[in-house]
Amino acid sequence: MSRGYKKTYKKIKRVQRETEYRRKGFPKRTLYLVLGIVGGAVAAAIIAGNLLVANKKEETNIETDSNIQMGGVSRIPYIDMLTEHDTIYNRLTGYASKNFSKDDIGYTYAYLPSDRRQKIYISVTPDNIEKLSFQVRDPDNGVLVEENQVTEISEAGGKTVAVITVKDLINSGHIYNMQIKLDLKDQPAGILYNTRIADNQGDQIDREIRYINEFTGKVFNENETEFISKATYATDSAESSNYAYADINSATSLIMWKGMSAQMQENPVPSVIHSDKDTVVLTQSYPVTYKGPGEKEERVIVNEAFTLEREGAQIEEGEEDTSTASREGEYGPKLTSYERKAYETLDARDLSITKERFCMGLQADEKVQCMSSETGQYICFVNGGNLWRVCSGTGTEKGGFVRLFSFEGDDGVKTDITELVDVNDEGKIKNVRGRNGIRILEVTDDGDVTFAVYGAFPAGKHEGESGIGIYRYYTKDKKLKEAVFIKASKNLEGMRKLVNECYLNDYGELYITTDSQLKKINIKNYTLETMTRKAVNDISSHSEDNSKYAYATQDYGGAGLASEITVYDCDTGESRAIREGDEGIYLIGYMGGDLVYGVAGVDEIERNTRGTKVYLKKIVIADKDGNEVKSYEKDGEYFSDVYIENATVAFTCYGKNDGGGFVKKDTNRLVAREEGEGGGCSLRFDASDIRRRVLYMDFTKGANDSTGEDAYLLDEYEYMDGNTVEI
C-alpha cells in the first residue's frame, strides 16, 4: 500500500469515526497538552498491574517541575562483583523497585569464591545505605532458596565494600538467580540488581578476566604487536579499513588501531555472560578517542566480545609467553573468538550537510535507529544516547541539526559505560544495549517529533527514578515538553518491550499492551479501558507500526493453535476475527506490513515425550488487517519450525511416512511482498578515506548544504503544571 493511499485511507476512516461518535478527531498536538495532566497517574497504574475499571474513581496528584537540564551521572549506583583475588568484573546496573521480583533473571554470571563469600563494590558510601539484602532463587522453578540481609559493610575510597555470604543451600554446578536489593536513605524506593551465580570455576574466572584486561591494555600499546599477533589469527592484509569493526582474523594493525593514535579513556569492566566447563564468553564496553581528519579528536564507544577456551594452550618448550597466567606458572587461556564493534558519538560543532548527505562518523554497521517525515525533509536518529533531528533545508526551515534529548553528562561524555553486549553462539555481537533507551515514535512534516525514553533517569524531576517518559518537540517554539512519565518497577527489558509495543493514534488514545491484553487510555474523557480479551496462551503480535494487534482468542487443541485470531485496529477501534473453517490457526506474527499465520487440523498435532508440535498444511500471508494476499501449500507436505527472518518466512518441510509420522525433508523460505514505499533517508558506507570507513546518511529527496553553525543543543525541558485528576 503506497504512502499516499495510506494517508487517504486514514482520512476516510477518520471521517467515518467522527460521524459515528459526533466529534472531531483529537490531534496529537492537542493530545500532548492534555496527556501531561492525566497520563502519569493512569500509566503508572498500568505498569503496576493495578488496572483501573472505567467507572472507578481515584484522586492522584501529578508532580511536575519547570525547566531542567537532562544530564549528569545517574543517582542509581552501580555494583561491581569481585573475584577471590579482588579482580573487578560484572558491573551491575539497577532499577527502582520497592520489592524483590522473582521473575527477573540476571544477564551476567558470577562465580562464588571457595568460601562463598562474594565481595562487591557499591558506588556510594556506607553512610547513604539504609539496608542491603539479597535473594537467591532456583531459575528452574522460581523457588526461593535463600533470603538474607548483608551486615558486613565497610568503606574504601569513597565506595562501599560489602560481603554477601551465601549459605550451603545451593548445589554445586547449578546456576541460580541472585537479586541484590539496595535501600538508600535519600531514595523512597529500593534498587534491584540481578545476576546469576554458581559456586565453581571461581579460580578460572579470575585468571580469564585478568587475561582480557591484559589483552585490552596491549591493544593500545604500539610495542605489543607480537602479543596481539600470537593471541589472534591475524592476517597480513585487511579486507576492510573500518577500524570500528575487527575480529580475531583481522590484521594486527586494525585490531590495535594503528595509525589512529587511539587512547582508552576509561578502564573497561568485563562481564561474564556465558560459562561452561569448556569455554567462557566475556564482553566489555569503554570509550576511546582517536585522531580523525584534520587531527581533530573524535570519540567512539567500543563494544567487544571474547570467547576463551578453558584449558588454554600449553607453551611449547623454549617459547616465551608473556601473559599474566604464564608468569604465575599456569597455562594461559586460549582466545578462540574475538569481535569488536564501535560507533562514533557525534559532536554538534562538526555536524554539517554537504552534497545532500551528512557524515555519521566511524561506525561498525548500518544499524542506526532513524525515522523521517513523509516529505523526507526531517530525519531523526539516535547516536550514543542522544536523539538528533536533522533538517534537509528544502522547506521553510533552514537546514541544520538539533539535539533533542541526551542521557550524557554536561560535558558531553558518558562517565558510566555499562552497555549490555548480546552475543550469539559463535561469539559474534548481535546488538548492544545501554542502560537507557530511546524510541522515535513520530516525525511530522512540520518537524515536530514524538519519542519515548526509558531506563534510569540521570537528572531532572525524575532523577534517580526508572521509568518511561513520552516527549514531544515543537519546532515552532523550539520547546520539548514532557507528556507523561510512567514510573516502572521493571527492569530495562520490561520497559523496552512496553515502549516498543505502545501506540498513539490521532484521537488522543494511548495503547499499551500489558498482561496479554490491549489497554487504552482515552485522554478526552479520562477513562481506562481494556480493549481485548486476554490472548490465549499469550499468543499475540503487533504490526510494524503497532497500529494493529493480532491475538489468539480461542484455543484449538494446544501446540499454539487457535480456532480464531482477532485483529484489533488501534486507529478505528474495530476488530476483525479470522477463522479457517474447522481448522486451527497458528499465529506466526507480523512481517513488516503483513500478517503471517498457518493452518492445521487436529491430525497435524504431534504429541510425544519430547513435547507437543504442530505441522502446518498451509502458510498464509495477509495484509495487516488480516485479508489474505497469498498462501503456500503443497500436496503431501507439512511445515513446521516456522519463523520470520527479516523479509522472509523460513520453515522446515515434512512429509508423512507409512505409519503416519512426520519425516523431515528440507528447508524453504517465502519472500515478503514489496512494500512500495521508502523513507526519506538511506544509510551507506564510504571507504574513500583509506584510514577509516565512515557511515553517511543520504537524503533520498534532496537537501541543501549547511554548516555546523546551525547545530544547537536543546537543554531546556518544559513540564506541564501539576494537577489533581479524578478518574
DSSP 212: H
- More reliable by pLDDT, 354 or 532: 532
Q: Which residue has the cell 502458510?
A: 619
Q: Which band of pLDDT confidence, cut at 50, 70 and 90, is reported for residue 417? A: low
Residue 535 has a pLDDT of 92
The partner residues of 550 in beta bridges, in order of sequence, read 541, 567
Domain C-terminal end among 174, 203, 232: 203
In one letter, which amino acid is 430?
K
Beta strands 144-149 and 95-96, pairing class: unpaired
- More reliable by pLDDT, 302 or 658: 302
Q: Which band of pLDDT confidence, cut at 50, 70 and 90, is reported for residue 148? A: very high
In sequence order, what are the residues at sequence separation of 6 or more whose Cβ sits closer than 8 angstroms to the Cβ of residue 99? 190, 489
Average pLDDT (486-501) is 79
In sequence order, what are the residues at sequence separation of 6 or more whose Cβ sits closer than 8 angstroms to the Cβ of residue 315? 321, 326, 331, 332
In a domain, 384, yes or no: no
Question: From CA 682, how far away is CA 701, in angstroms rounded?
Answer: 10
Q: Which band of pLDDT confidence, cut at 50, 70 and 90, is reported for residue 414? A: low
| Residue 76, pLDDT above cutoff 70 | yes
In sequence order, what are the residues at sequence separation of 6 or more whose Cβ sits closer than 8 angstroms to the Cβ of residue 88? 80, 81, 82, 121, 269
In sequence order, what are the residues at sequence separation of 6 or more whose Cβ sits closer than 8 angstroms to the Cβ of residue 553? 533, 535, 536, 562, 564, 565, 566, 577
| Residue 379, pLDDT above cutoff 80 | yes
| Residue 537, pLDDT above cutoff 80 | yes
Same domain for 173 and 149 = yes
Instruction: Give percent of the chain with pLDDT exceeding 70.
Output: 77
Residue 214 has a pLDDT of 94
Residue 365 has a pLDDT of 87
C-alpha cell at 528: 481506562
Residue 336, phi then psi, degrees to nearest 5: -105, -20
- More reliable by pLDDT, 191 or 294: 191
| Residue 201, pLDDT above cutoff 80 | no
* pLDDT tens-digit readout, 92-135: 988 888 889 887 888 899 988 888 899 999 999 999 999 999 99
Same domain for 170 and 224 = no
Asked if residues 141 and 176 have their Cβ atoms less than 8 Å apart, the reply is: no
Average pLDDT (485-499) is 78
* pLDDT tens-digit readout, 304-319: 999 999 864 444 444 4
In a domain, 352, yes or no: no
Length of the chain: 727
Query: Cα-Cα-Cα-Cα dihedral of 699, 645, 561, 573, to 10°?
Result: 0
Average pLDDT (587-594) is 86
Question: From CA 503, how far away is CA 544, in angstroms rounded?
Answer: 11
Residue 410 has a pLDDT of 53
Same domain for 561 and 612 = yes
Q: Which of 148, 152, 143, 147 is nearest to 122 (CA)?
A: 152
SS3 for 504-567 is ECCCCEEEEEECCEEEEEECCCCEEEECCCCCHHHCEEECCCCCEEEEEEEECCCCCEEEEEEE
Residue 151 has a pLDDT of 94
Same domain for 210 and 240 = yes
Full-model pTM: 0.78
In one letter, which amino acid is 277?
K
Q: Which of 616, 612, 588 is nearest to 600 (CA)?
A: 616
Same domain for 133 and 145 = yes
Same domain for 153 and 212 = no
* pLDDT tens-digit readout, 510-526: 788 878 899 886 655 55
Domain C-terminal end among 650, 674, 698: 674
Domain holding 107, by residue range, is 78-203
Average pLDDT (517-546) is 81
In a domain, 712, yes or no: no
Q: Which band of pLDDT confidence, cut at 50, 70 and 90, is reported for residue 240? A: low
Question: From CA 24, how far away is CA 301, in angstroms rounded?
Answer: 48
Residue 708 has a pLDDT of 53
Residue 507 has a pLDDT of 81
Residue 666 has a pLDDT of 85
Residue 418 has a pLDDT of 63
Same domain for 229 and 148 = no
Q: CA-CA distances (angstroms) from residue 22 to 15, 16, 571, 702?
A: 10, 10, 16, 42
Same domain for 283 and 161 = no
Question: From CA 703, how far away is CA 705, in angstroms rounded?
Answer: 7
Q: Which of 204, 205, 429 is nearest to 305 (CA)?
A: 429
In a domain, 696, yes or no: no
Q: CA-CA distances (angstroms) from residue 317 to 41, 314, 321?
A: 71, 9, 10
Residue 27 has a pLDDT of 46
Residue 259 has a pLDDT of 84
- More reliable by pLDDT, 588 or 417: 588
Q: CA-CA distances (angstroms) from residue 439 to 73, 381, 385, 417?
A: 21, 9, 11, 20
CATH number reported for the structural domain that contains residue 609 in this entry? 2.40.128
CATH number reported for the structural domain that contains residue 275 in this entry? 3.10.450
In a domain, 485, yes or no: no
Q: CA-CA distances (angstroms) from residue 377 to 443, 501, 591, 677?
A: 10, 26, 27, 16
CATH number reported for the structural domain that contains residue 120 in this entry? 2.60.40.10
Residue 211 has a pLDDT of 93
In a domain, 422, yes or no: no
Q: CA-CA distances (angstroms) from residue 577 to 320, 565, 571, 585?
A: 72, 6, 17, 11
| Residue 595, pLDDT above cutoff 70 | yes
Mean pLDDT of the chain: 78
Q: Which residue has the cell 491484553?
A: 517
Question: From CA 520, how far away is CA 513, in angstroms rounded?
Answer: 9
How many structural domains does the chain have? 3
| CB burial readout 128-160, b (16+ within 10 A) else e | ebeebbbbbbeeeeeeebbeeebeeeeeeeebb
Q: Which of 367, 526, 397, 360 is nearest to 473 (CA)?
A: 397
| Residue 416, pLDDT above cutoff 60 | no
Q: CA-CA distances (angstroms) from residue 706 to 353, 394, 399, 400?
A: 5, 11, 6, 6
E strands in 138-278:
144-149, 152-156, 159-165, 176-184, 191-198, 245-247, 263-264, 271-275
Residue 354, phi then psi, degrees to nearest 5: -130, 135
Same domain for 259 and 211 = yes
Question: From CA 501, how far away is CA 515, in angstroms rounded?
Answer: 13
**Helix H or strand E encompassing 38:** helix 28-48
- Concatenated DSSP letters for 240-303? ---TTEEETTS-HHHHTTTTTT-EE-S----EEEEE-SSEEEEEEEEEEEEE-GGG-EEEEEEE
Same domain for 228 and 134 = no
Same domain for 622 and 650 = yes
Domain C-terminal end among 150, 177, 203: 203
Same domain for 565 and 657 = yes
Residue 495, by phi and psi: left (phi above 0), alpha (psi -120 to 50) or beta? alpha
| Residue 31, pLDDT above cutoff 50 | no
* pLDDT tens-digit readout, 673-708: 654 445 788 888 887 766 678 898 988 888 888 765
Q: Which band of pLDDT confidence, cut at 50, 70 and 90, is reported for residue 713? A: low
In sequence order, what are the residues at sequence separation of 6 or more whose Cβ sits closer than 8 angstroms to the Cβ of residue 645? none
In a domain, 336, yes or no: yes
- More reliable by pLDDT, 577 or 426: 577
| Residue 657, pLDDT above cutoff 80 | yes
The partner residues of 651 in beta bridges, in order of sequence, read 668
In a domain, 173, yes or no: yes
Q: Which of 605, 650, 624, 489 is nearest to 546 (CA)?
A: 624
